[in-house]
Amino acid sequence: MSARYTNYTQQLMEAIIESPGETASTLRRAVQEQAAQCSSHATPSLGQLPQEVHAYVKKVALHAYKTTTEDIEALRNAGYSEDAIFELTLSAALGAGMIRLERGLLALHGGRDATQEH
């Protein structure tokens, strides 16, 4: 990535993942990674994410516009506060956005067409 933007992306990532909040940074980082895996069409390992979070992260990563009040209510019913949901949503969006940026830059520098890989 252009060095000019590296600092900006690094600061954004640190803010979303490391800022004090309701959720642990480890959970936010796991959400970020799952969203990136979903967005790259890799088979995501279920890993550490609770099932209700995994389903939400996948939707945010692939079809964010399809999220509904019911999706949020499911997380609320599972015990997550609105602040926690805010943090997890940003973490998922971060993972999805950053993998798209990486893929775009890879294509710019002559990388393989990702659509040919699947």
Partner 1 sequence: MRLKNIEQLQRDEPVSDIRRILSYRPELFGQPFSVFLEAAIRGPSDWSIGERELFAAFVSSTNQCTY
Name the site residues for partner 1 (rule: CB under 8 A).
4-5, 8-9, 11-12, 15-16, 19, 21, 64-65, 83, 86-87, 90
Neighbours of 32 (CB within 10 A): 26
Closest to partner 1 by CB, 18 vs 45, is 18
Minimum gap (Å) between residue 27 Cβ and partner 1: 14
When the beta carbons of 33 and 87 are compared against partner 1, the nearer one is 87
For partner 1, give the closer residue by CB, 74 or 86: 86
Q: Which of 33, 29, 8 is nearest to 18 (CA)?
A: 29
Distance, CA of 42 to CA of 85 (rounded, Å): 24
Joined tokens for residue 43: 């088979």
Q: How far is the CB of 44 from partner 1 (least distance, A)?
A: 20
Least distance (Å) between residue 86 CB and partner 1: 7
Of residues 53 and 94, the one with the C-beta less far from partner 1: 94
Annotate 44-96 with DSSP letters as a single string. ---TT--HHHHHHHHHHHHHGGG--HHHHHHHHHTT--HHHHHHHHHHHHHHH
Q: How far is the CB of 51 from partner 1 (least distance, A)?
A: 25
